Structures are given as C-alpha cells and as structure tokens.
A and B are shown apart, each in its own frame.
Chain A
Amino acid sequence: MHLTVNGDVHHVDAPDHWTLLEVLRYRLGLTGSKQGCDKGDCGACTVLVDGQPMISCLMLAREAENRAITTIEGLMPHHIAAGGTGADPVQDAFDQCGALQCGFCQSGTILSAHALLSGTPNPSDAEIRDALAGNLCRCTGYTQILQAVQLASARARGVSPPPRSWETPPAPAGSPAPSPTETA
C-alpha cells in the first residue's frame, strides 16, 4: 500500500489487519505516536488524517491510503519549512507550560490541540476541554495542558495568557473573597 505521511509517500508492506498505528510505529519507525490501550480508549495514538484528529489504533492502515497523514514528527519540519525555527508553536507552548510530565500521551494531545487551534484560534476553556476529551493524561490533571493551549492561542493572537494560580498567593484574610469558577 502507499501511505502519505508528513508529506512523504511510503510504499509499505504489512499484514492486512495491521492498524495505521502499527504501520507508523513498527514499519515506518515513527514511534512518536504511542500505544496506550490499542482499543481506542486513551487517544495516545492520535494522528491527523486530512487535518482531522483520528485514533490510529482503530484505523486499518489500508483505510489511510490516499489521505494526508500528519504525525507528531511532522509538525516541526513543517514549521521550519514555513519559515519558523525550532519546534512548532503548539509543541513549544506545551514545553513552556510544563505540560509534558511523562509525555507519553502528549503527542496525541498536541495533535488534537493543533487541530482545534487551526479551526478555532481563540477557544474558550470549555472548547479546549471538549477538544481534548479523547486524550487521556494521567500525570497533569490537564491544568498545564489547558494553559499550554491558552498560551499557544494567546501568542498567535499577540495577547497575554491568563495568569496561573501559583504565580500570586491568595489574598490575605479580610480582603474580598475571590469568585470561584462556577463550572468545571
């Protein structure tokens, strides 16, 4: 079969039942896409297929023929080819915000965030949470992931990201109470 991955066309020989994830990892050596469950529960294997986030462990490799596949390895080369330097801005924001603890889920999460920001440059908190609901993270509690997406969005729009809770201590007793978040 012929697969177009990160702009390169690969001729691949693999068993018919192999998933796109298996071909990416074990035939093409693109090990940035991770396998956490192999049944579509965790989202660590998320790649972009024609720009849309797809779970590559639930997609047969053959189904991806004639479609443009982007893996985590494709973002930085694309960014550099477009005149940028270093990592893609979304990747860079994840690094800057501490969102990469063990990092195992993050290639999938970063690609989901990338797809969100392509269509929704200024997402609300709820929109970010919805867009990333298919990417389980066990380390961060999602807070620094949210902050990373907010930072990437803010940078692209030339504004400051919202402050983080640990950057300013709580107000001393006697001052007006803060207004807590009403919904998650």
Chain B
Amino acid sequence: MASRDIHGIDPPWGDFRHVGRALRKVDGLAKATGAAVYTDDISLPGMLHAKLLRSPHAHARILAIDTTRVRQLSGVHGVITGEDLPVKFGILPWTQDETALAVGKVRHVGEPVAAVAAVDEDTANAALKLIRVEYELLHVYIDPFESLSRHDPPIHEQHRSGNISKHVHLSFGDVDMALSHADAVVEGDYFFHGTTHAAIEPHCAVAQYAADGVLTLWSSTQITHYVHRALAHVLGLSAHRIRVIQPCLGGAFGGKSDPFSFEFVTAKLAMLTGRPIKLLYTREEVFYTHRGRHPMHMHYKTGATRDGRLTGVDATILVDGGAYSSYGLVTTYYAGQLLTGPYDFPTYRFDSTRVFTNKPTCGPKRGHGSVQPRFAFEVQLDELAEVLRMDPIEIRRRNLLGADTTTVNGQRITSNGIAKCLDFVEQASGWTTRRGRLGYGRGLGVAASMYISGTNYPIYPNPMPQAAVQLKIDRSGLVTVFSGANDIGQGSNSIAQYLVAEELGLALDQVRVASADTDLCPVDLGAYSSRETFMVGNALIDACRKIRPQLVQAVAERWQVDTARVRFVEGVVIDLEDVSRSMSAAEAFQLAEEKFDTLGATGAYNTPTLGGDYRGGTIGAAPAYSFTAHAVEVSVDVETGRITCHDVWIAHDCGRALNPMLVAGQMEGSAYMGVAEALMEDHDVHASGLHKGPSLLDYRIPTSVDTPALHALIVESLDPEGPYGAKEAGEGPLHPSIPAISNAVFDAVGIRLRHLPFTPGRVLAALRARQHSAPSGEPELAGGPR
C-alpha cells in the first residue's frame, strides 16, 4: 500500500454499511449542546488580551511611530511594531510581500501597524489610543485600470512589474482563425464585483510560550500546516518547537487560509511577555482582513457553428488584487485555466492580469478564481443560444466533454456526470413546459460548471504526500484516527469516521478522530481546493488496508479457518461459514496485538503527475473534477427593479455521495452563497479606501427569509481515483447560481445582466435602456451602469 495506490470504487466487505447513508456528524451533538470548543472559548491562566492599531490611510509612508506613552499605562505588558516582526511572509513561496505589522508603509485602510498586550481588552484599546503614528500620504489606487497604466508611486517598491501583480497569457489552438470562421460570434464585457466570506466566527488566536521554549498556537485557521511553516519562518524558530492546533472552526470558505497578522502577533507577544495571549478580531477587522473574491473586469468573445458547436473562446481579464499578493498568482491562472470544462473548447486563449490596488487584499473564496469567469462565460453562452435560436440547455448539451477526455489546456477528465446534471435540473424545474411560458416578469435560467477536486499542485513544491493519517488500534475496541485535515464545518472528521468504520468493519462509535494538531497528526495540506474528502479519504483507506490483514489473520488463526471466512461487521467478527462463531472487534484487536505487537498504521495520498506540458500547465490540474448544473426561477418586479429568486435546483456530480446529507448541505450552502453574491452582497470601498459597509447588517448576507427554496439533486458518477469513487461537493455547486440568475432574468423580462451585483438600480436601467434602444430579444452588448 502506498500513496499512489488506487483503491477502487467498491465496498471493502461486499456491501456498504455506513457509506451512502445520511449519518450524523462526529461532532454534531457537541456543537448542538454548546460543548464544542472554538478558539475564543479557550482561556488560559494569566492570559493577556492583544489588540491591533490599524491604518486609517489607504496608502501612506510611515515616518515615525511613538509608543512611549503606551508603556507607561498601567496594565499594558507589551507593545510591538513592524520592526519587531520584520520577516516577510506570504502563502506562496514566490510572492512573500506581507509583514505581520506594517514596515515602512501601509497599503490599505485597516492594515495592522502596531499591537499591544494588556490585562484586558478595554486596557488594550485605551493603549492603542496612546500610540502616535506619523504618516506621509501617498496617491491612492482604487481603480484597477489606473494600476495597469500608472505605477508612480508604486504600491510595492521592490516589485519588478510596477503595480502589476501577475500576468498570464496562454493560447491553445488558433483562436483568431476559429472565431473568424464561426457562424455566430458573441462578444461582451462582464464585471464581477468583490465579495467576502463573512464566516460567522471572527478570526481568533491564543498563543502560549512555555518555559521549555515550546510555542503553542490555537488558531481559527483552515490550514494548520501552512501556519506552522509561516510561524517558524517569521519568528525564526525551529518548526519542531512550534505546535499549531485548530480548535473547532466557525466557518472559513477560504477566508482563513492565509497566515495572518493575528497569528504572528499573539505568538510574538507571548514570547515577549511570558504570558498567554488572546487576540480576537472585531467584525469590522474581519472585513478589512478580507482575502475574498477578486473583482474581475472580463471581456469574452465566443464563436460557434450554426448548429451550436463552440469553435473558440477568447478572454481578457483584469483582476483587482488589492494590496498584497496572497494567493493571487494562482488566482490569475485559475481565472483562465478552470474554464475549459464541462464544454469542449476546440480553441481557447486567455490573457489574465492581476494588479495591486490600495484595498483590502483579495484571495481565495469558495470557487477560487473560477466563479467570476464562469459567470461571464455562462451568460455569454446563453447569448449565443439566443442568437442561434437554440434552447439554453440544448446548446450546453451539444458541447459537453464526456468522461475520460482531455480539455483543450491539457487537463485530464475522468468521471463526468454533467449530462445527468442537466437532465435533472431540466426535469425538476419543469423546464420544457415552463421556460418562456411563465409570463412577463417571471423566468427560468440555467448554467453549468466544472471544478477541481483537489489540486496536484502543493503550495510549496515538494514530493512528499499531500495527505496523511495515522491509526491507533486500541485493545479497548477503539480506533483513533490522527488526521492532519482541517474540519472547518464541512465534515472531514466525520468522513474519516465513516471511512475507517467501513474499512475495518466497525460500529461508528468505535472510531474517534483527533485532527489538525501539528504535534499529534501527520501533515495534511489543509482545507482548500476541495481536497479533504478526496485526498484524506484515500489516505484513510490506504492506512486501513495496511492494518486490516493483520486483524483478519489473527482471528483466522485463532479459529483455524481461511482468512476469506473472517468478516468484520459493525464491530462484530463473524465466520461466514459458521454463523455460531463470532467475537467482538475488541477481542480481535487483542488477538492481533498479541500476535503483531502494538497496532497502528499510517496512510498517505499523493496525486498522479497531471497537467499540460507548458509553464502553468499544472495549475488547475486536479486528480478529478466535479460537475454541476443549476436551474433557477426568478421573478422581476419591473416597478422597483427588485429580483426575487424563488427556487434553485442544484444538480451536482460528487462522484459517490459518502454521506448524501452532508453532500446536500454543501450543495445548498454553495448555492445560497452564489445567490447572495448575485443579488445582495458587495464588498466595496469608497475613494478613500474605507469599506462601504463593514458589518453583517450593511454587507447584507441573506437571512432565512431572503434565501430561496434550495433543491439538492445528487448525481453520482463514481470516480476511478476518489475514495469509493467520491469527489468534491463544497465549492463546485456555487458557480452556476450567479449566471443562472442572469439567464433567468433574461427569460423573465428580456434584459441581459452582465454587471454584478444585480441591484434594483441596474435592473431598472437595463429595462429603460431596452425600451429606448434595442428591439426586443436582440442581444445588447453594453454593460449596465454601476
């Protein structure tokens, strides 16, 4: 058994006992009863509270910082500035451009400048008011188009390409020829606005520096391993002297996948004061910390033959990155690389440029880098269907890539359930009898998408396994799983329980999971890129298949029967040919321990070599891809311009649904978030760089009353490499919601919304523009006003 083994889609003992059932989660009751411990629930003896002083300016040089008055305040135990933590870091090895506290200049409003530790938060807040910072204000870049053409003064002095963070240009086949020979070509501009994660738990860390020189950090992170590495790098400590633990996490969605200021600051202050330190962000600080969806200005040109077959796609994308790099290099690639399914593009070209601006830094949000281009392309595909007088589902069907194919940019597609996804939403929405027949003001729309299920590209290149687990088989009958995976609410610890119980033939309560603790658990790369179920699932099966033969052999020897007759069934071991004979799993474990000594196993997973043979060809290469189609029903109030989304039918190909209830929860949560981005949410700043609404009230995340009826329809394609055939479900099902709403609005009232979010003002402006100019039904290519 090894990290590259393929374990197959079949059940280990003949039929599934746990997999495929709507089982409870391993931590559900702890969360329901308030017993689950999140980071801010931790309190240590003698603990101090830290607060950050943040910049009120979007772009300024720091001339001087005076902290002398702070040190005289009673109750203050420590104050630090950028000079105390000068080492640069960044999630990607190639773009390390952040510091824990600003050094020399600030690049966005809300950037941390200094930190204090005091006996309580009130004292820490009072201390912040005593810090004097002298700034020299610099030109503020808000408009990304300005950052393209101007870089004096630069946002990053050391950056070689002015204010351009990253540029990618890739071309596959002769796009110009393909478009010039197409029967129909649609061209247009699309804009995707900024949105943020808004996890209900604000970021928080607790740090403790023990007398033996070991630093422990409890942090609300979704990637323990990268925080561990970044702490060692910035603090100059050996990694083996640092322990990072992720307690229960109150939502992440990509927003907790960078190493952040609060983590370095709590650690440093704990080392300086000898006292445990807690730092909890306010909701306003969470908005400025951001790392949310990049705004993208997108120009698309798509050609097709008369019968609706795509001939070529040409995209130019400007990505508004905000102040720092974060994951931006990957985002710039993803903006082009992830569009090449579920449709067959004979030719494709994209030019993607990320620029720095003086705004909170953008990063990965659920559907990283690919939700925005997906919106543009799926709306454009609808426009193409309109020009060709073709049903929007039909034009999609005519262009589907099948299973076991390769995309135009060289990505390997294995399992593929997109055709069934389209069938499901067509049937469930009543598409054929209802679309175009709901009367003026009400309509149906469709869109489809593809997303990575893990990536073969670790954040720092290395040949070691991407996922790993360890099992401890105890003579009590309990198996403890040590998993580096970060359970951020998606249920990775529950999946670990189900899979181990399935593989070893145990009852669910015989498996407990310890996770995301760098002292206890082998390295896993964390909760991003929809990788946990796929990769950790394979690592779990790998570990179980190493230990299982020992358990079976020990029982077979005791019974003096062939090993094929021994079967573990939900914690009881039976002889398949003699029903009178059985023993408990605990007895079997004891026999095996007697024979083989202390029982344990490790398991690992690594992706195969994947990707196109060109620079950047591995970015977007995944061991499997998930597929999604949505149909949505909306109504448009033509008096107020308000769009109401009534229903979303979500069909998602997740490979095998290891727990259909958890899969449905991911699908519904994704679709909800997409609807919210389309209709309500807007992460934007004023010309000064101040956020327009840094609160959960003003940012307007949907309540239970605002959320449409969500109908999850699971499609199972059984992937050859996924654990029992499973693929991701947590990010893919967000993508189609947004273009499907735009397309449904077209069905309802005949306007094309190409500019997000779809506010009442934009709807009314588009309705007026259509009345005054274009004849009904003809595509108009201008974007709406902001």
Contacts and interface: CB of A to CB of B under 8 A. Distances in A.
A101 B730 CA distance: 12
B201 A180 contact: no
Contacts of B488: 102
A33 B200 contact: no
Interface in B652-690: 660-665, 668-673
Contacts of B390: none
Contacts of B563: none
B695 A87 contact: no
B251 A139 contact: yes
Residue from A33, A36, A107, A146 whose CB has the most chain B CB atoms within 10 Å? A36
Interface residues of B, number: 79
Given A41-B696, A103-B250, A170 B34 contact: no
B495 interface: no
Given A71-B34, A133-B704, A26 B28 contact: no
Interface in B257-298: 282-283
Contacts of A98: 22, 24-25, 28, 661-662, 664-665
Interface string A58-82: 0000000000000111011000000
A2 interface: no
Contact of A177 (B24, B199, B433, B670): B433
A184 B707 contact: yes
A39 B695 contact: yes
Given A95-B24, A103-B489, A104-B200, A164 B664 contact: yes
Contact of B33 (A34, A87, A102): A87
B491 interface: yes
B251 A138 contact: yes
A160 interface: no
A166 B733 CA distance: 14
Interface in A23-40: 25-26, 29-39
A135 B428 contact: no
A100 B24 CA distance: 10
Contacts of B476: none
A159 to B, nearest CB: 19
A33 B28 contact: no
Given A91-B29, A110-B32, A133 B705 contact: yes
Contacts of B706: 184
Contact of A144 (B429, B646, B665, B703): B665
A73 B34 CA distance: 6
A31 B36 CA distance: 9
A142 B707 contact: yes
Contact of A166 (B43, B696, B712): B712
B659 to A, nearest CB: 8
A130 B430 contact: no
A112 B665 CA distance: 21
Interface string A93-116: 011111111111111001000000
Given A129-B704, A138-B198, A146-B704, A103 B36 contact: yes
Contacts of B663: 166
Contacts of A15: 122
A79 to B, nearest CB: 10
Given A129-B704, A141-B671, A141-B707, A101 B713 contact: no
B396 to A, nearest CB: 16
B33 to A, nearest CB: 5
B709 interface: yes
B490 interface: yes
Given A101-B665, A138-B253, A183-B646, A95 B29 contact: yes
Contacts of B670: 141
Contacts of A103: 27-28, 31-32, 36, 248, 250, 489
Given A36-B201, A165-B713, A166-B660, A182 B427 contact: no
A135 B707 CA distance: 13
Contacts of A101: 251, 489-491, 665, 669
Contact of A184 (B122, B423, B646): B646
B489 A35 contact: no
A83 interface: no
B32 A178 contact: no
A177 B252 CA distance: 38
B217 interface: no
A20 interface: no
A184 B251 contact: no
B406 interface: no
A26 to B, nearest CB: 7
Nearest to B429: A180
A48 interface: no
B201 A87 contact: no
A165 B41 contact: no
Residue from A25, A141, A165, A170 whose CB has the most chain B CB atoms within 10 Å? A141
A97 B704 contact: no
B489 A91 contact: no
A104 B705 contact: no
Nearest to B662: A98
Given A138-B251, A170-B427, A184 B709 contact: yes
Residue from B36, B200, B644 whose CB has the most chain A CB atoms within 10 Å? B200
Contact of B703 (A102, A136, A165): A136
A137 interface: yes
Nearest to A98: B661
B665 A139 contact: yes
Interface string B710-724: 111110000000000
A143 B671 CA distance: 11
B172 interface: no
Contact of A180 (B31, B32, B647): B647
Nearest to B674: A141
Contacts of A32: 33-35
Contacts of B669: 101, 138-141
B32 A36 contact: no
A180 B646 contact: yes
A29 B35 CA distance: 11
A62 B647 CA distance: 45
A118 interface: no
A181 interface: yes
Nearest to A165: B711
Contacts of A73: 33-35
A110 B200 CA distance: 16
Contact of B424 (A146, A169, A180): A169
Given A178-B428, A184-B707, A141 B668 contact: yes
Given A72-B34, A166-B714, A139 B704 contact: no
Given A104-B250, A181-B709, A41 B695 contact: yes
Interface string B367-380: 00000000000000
A148 B199 CA distance: 21
Given A100-B28, A137-B200, A38 B282 contact: yes
Given A38-B282, A76-B33, A105-B200, 13 more contacts: A31-B41, A32-B34, A41-B695, A42-B200, A95-B31, A130-B705, A141-B672, A143-B664, A145-B704, A173-B426, A180-B429, A181-B709, A183-B646
Interface of A: 15, 25-26, 29-39, 41-42, 44, 71-73, 75-76, 86-88, 91-92, 94-107, 110, 128-130, 132-146, 164-167, 169-173, 177-178, 180-184
29 contacts: A29-B43, A31-B38, A32-B35, A36-B696, A41-B695, A42-B200, A87-B29, A87-B33, A91-B29, A91-B32, A94-B32, A95-B24, A96-B24, A98-B24, A100-B32, A101-B490, A102-B199, A102-B248, A102-B252, A103-B36, A104-B200, A110-B32, A133-B703, A142-B707, A165-B664, A166-B660, A166-B713, A181-B646, A184-B706
Cβ-closest 9 pairs across A and B: A32-B34, A104-B250, A102-B489, A141-B672, A103-B31, A177-B430, A72-B34, A95-B28, A31-B41
